[in-house]
Every structure is written in C-alpha cells, then in structure tokens.
Amino acid sequence: MKIKPFIAAAVIIFALGIAGSIFALTSSSKNLVRISQGGKTLYTIDLSLAKDDKIEIKCSEGTNIIEIKDGKIRVSDADCPDKTCVKSGWLSSSAMPIVCLPHRLIIEFCSESDVDAVTR
C-alpha cells in the first residue's frame, strides 16, 4: 500500500521534467542567432534588434538566401539539390537548427556566453 504514493510522486516528477524540457527547448525568449559555414561564424544576429533583411551567403558549392523578418530567421532560397534548409521554415527551437549540408551552412540559436561580438 505504501508503493502507490511513491509511484504517484515519481510520475509527477517525470511529468514536470518533460514539461520543463519542452519549455526550455521551445522558449521564444531566445533572440541570439549564429550563422556559420564550414565551422566559421559568419554572423551573430540579435533578432530582437534586427531589421527585416535578406543576406546572401555564397560558397564554392552554391548560394543561400537568408531572410530576417519580424524577429524570425529562415533560409528563403538555396540552390542546393534537396532544399532541406528551405523546407525547414523559420528557426523556432534550439533543438532543431537550420542546416544546409551541401553548403556546410548552419543557423542556430546561441547564448551570449558563446559570442564575442554581435554583428549585422
């Protein structure tokens, strides 16, 4: 009979852990974004301060067009064969960065401790 309270407490702790993880990974308070290519940081952008803009990133493999609009960021066009980066849509979670493998491009949320300076 004493096992039931233990199981109930374990279920509650587990549920709170899951809810906390989901909240942390989907939190919209993340505003700092890093755009890197081939392991080199090209831009670090604070989306809360950024104006609507388009950034063209070229490499020997091709070109990506990155769109910043209303405090959000996405790859709006690319000349890679599968266009997975374009299909990813707007960056919304630190768990799922936007990646263009053929062009070695990554767009991801980052923290201020990861950044030396903010560009753009």
The domain 28-114 having CATH identifier 2.60.320.10: the answer here is yes
Asked if 98 and 36 touch (Cβ cutoff 8 Å), the reply is: no
**Looking at the whole model, is its pTM more than 0.75?**
no
Decide if pLDDT at 6 tops 90: no
Give bridge partners of residue 68 from the DSSP assignment.
53, 73
DSSP string, 78-113: E-SSS-HHHHT-S---TTS-EEETTTTEEEEE--GG
List, for residues 44-60, the tens digit of each pLDDT value.
Answer: 999 989 999 999 999 99
R_g of the chain, CA atoms, integer Å:
19
**Residue 29 binned pLDDT confidence (cut-offs 50, 70, 90):** low
- Nearest alpha carbon to residue 71 among 109, 23, 100: 109
What is the DSSP-derived secondary structure letter of residue 84? H
List, for residues 60-106, the tens digit of each pLDDT value.
Answer: 999 999 999 999 999 999 999 999 999 999 998 888 999 999 999 99
